[in-house]
Amino acid sequence: MKVLVVGYGSIGKRHIKNLSTIKNMKIIVNTKRSKDKFLKNANCVTNSSLELCINEKPDFAIICNETAYHVNTAIKLAKAGIHIFIEKPISNSLKNMKKLQNISNKNKIITHVGSVLHFHPCIKKIKEIIEKKELGKILSVNVENGSYLPDWHPREDYRKSYASKKELGGGVILTCIHEIDYLYWFFNKIDETSSYTKKVSDLDLSVDDLSSILFLFKNNIIGQVHLDHFQIPNSRTCKIIGTKGTLICDLELNFVKIFNVKSKKWKTKLKLEKYNKNIMYKNELTHFIKCVKNNLKDYNDIKQGEYVLKIALSVKKSSILKKKVKIIE
């Protein structure tokens, strides 16, 4: 197979590293960094022209350039009949989203929006527990994702990254959209949201670095989400309260446990020792390649990615208007 990787930042490099372990996978990279040592060692073909890369007729492409350029890049690829994996978030606005949908449908393009936490064993375990109704009727969920942005990629200047620049699609809500994404995956559609989102730290950013969010799901579950770019040490947790028990998950310590209301005891459902996070990236990639090879529709396609983006944009709108906002499907 032949793959095109558009963009060569940290996530692009991760994908290239994982792709290079797949037998008979030819890798083309759309980047200006043609003399990069890593790319040479991975036997990648490089070109700074997206059009010339498209002329190589790749079977699929992974879009991991800056968020603001995702949709326009995807449109060019879909027009050429290339299947598309778009890194999260799908975009920073809804502009040209319908155009991308129409072209993808017309050309029968298989699409996937980055949702790597769906492939994390702890998140998969929570999904399984919810579907088995082990917690009874779900009443509320509380999620936190806090980390110090300069520590994300220590060898890079965080001030130059897309995450810190509004025009490139940065900001804590879009950058940390994984939490919004997996809550939608767990509990389906959201009716309305209210939030308080702003820049509060001393970090050199042109975007918000804190968001405190409330969700009312259509099934009447109340959700609370805390996102920040300044917390030390990292905190990434999920707490779900149901009529039969309470679930706690810690994605830093990699465990899921449940308190049973009847037995009044905690039970560990999953505990991972020294979990290698790259495994979930590999599994997501394997999943998408399987869809492409077998011409299967992906469950997390651009339609799903667009809905998650609508939620995120509604969160931002709520903070600006200082009132509740309905999520429009």
Positive/negative CA dihedral, 26, 29, 34, 38: negative
Share of the chain above pLDDT 70, in %: 100
Confidence band, pLDDT 50/70/90 cuts, at residue 306: very high
Confidence band, pLDDT 50/70/90 cuts, at residue 168: confident
SS3 content of the chain, % helix, strand, coil (to 5): 35, 30, 35
Look at residue 249 and tell me whether its pLDDT is greater than 90.
Answer: yes
Report whether 107 contacts 84 (CB < 8 A).
no
Alpha carbon distances (Å) from 53 to 49, 68, 103: 6, 20, 20
- C-alpha to C-alpha distance for 152 and 145, rounded to whole angstroms: 13
* pLDDT at 254 (0 to 100): 98
Look at residue 292 and tell me whether its pLDDT is greater than 90.
Answer: yes
* pLDDT at 156 (0 to 100): 83
CA Rg value for the chain:
20
- C-alpha to C-alpha distance for 313 and 140, rounded to whole angstroms: 22
Q: Considering the chain, what is the average pLDDT of its residues?
A: 96
* pLDDT at 34 (0 to 100): 84
Inter-helix orientation angle 97-106/70-79, to 10°? 20
Report the Cα–Cα distance between both ends of the chain, in Å, rounded.
Answer: 36
Confidence band, pLDDT 50/70/90 cuts, at residue 153: confident
Nearest to 74 by CA among 45, 48, 109, 106: 109
Per-residue exposure over 135-166, b if at least 16 CB sit within 10 Å of its own CB, e if not: beebeebebbbbbbbbeeeeeeebeebbbbbe
* pLDDT at 94 (0 to 100): 97
Residue 42 has a CB neighbour count (10 Å cut-off) of 16
Pairing relation of β-strands 83-86 and 60-63? parallel
* pLDDT at 141 (0 to 100): 98
* pLDDT at 162 (0 to 100): 84
* pLDDT at 65 (0 to 100): 96
Q: What is the mean pLDDT of residues 26-42?
A: 92
* pLDDT at 237 (0 to 100): 98
Q: What is the mean pLDDT of residues 59-78?
A: 97
Q: Where are the beta strands (DSSP E) in the chain?
A: 2-6, 26-30, 45-47, 60-63, 83-86, 111-113, 138-148, 190-198, 210-217, 222-228, 230-242, 245-250, 255-260, 265-271, 325-326
* pLDDT at 329 (0 to 100): 81
* pLDDT at 253 (0 to 100): 97
Burial of 20 (0-12, 13-18, 19+ CB in 10 A): middle
* pLDDT at 273 (0 to 100): 94
Residue 260 has a CB neighbour count (10 Å cut-off) of 14
* pLDDT at 35 (0 to 100): 87
Q: What is the mean pLDDT of residues 28-56?
A: 94
Q: Which pair of tokens denotes residue 274?
A: 């020294």
* pLDDT at 323 (0 to 100): 98
Could you tell me which residues are beta bridge partners of residue 223?
Answer: 141, 215
- C-alpha to C-alpha distance for 195 and 182, rounded to whole angstroms: 18
The 10s digit of each residue's pLDDT in 80-132 is: 999 999 999 999 999 999 999 999 999 999 999 999 999 999 999 999 999 99
The 10s digit of each residue's pLDDT in 127-149 is: 999 999 999 999 999 999 999 99
The reported pTM is 0.96
Look at residue 222 and tell me whether its pLDDT is greater than 90.
Answer: yes
Look at residue 160 and tell me whether its pLDDT is greater than 90.
Answer: no
Look at residue 204 and tell me whether its pLDDT is greater than 90.
Answer: yes
- C-alpha to C-alpha distance for 235 and 232, rounded to whole angstroms: 8
Domains of the chain: 2-114+284-300 (3.40.50.720), 117-273+308-326 (3.30.360.10)
Tell me the longest C-alpha to C-alpha distance in the chain: 64
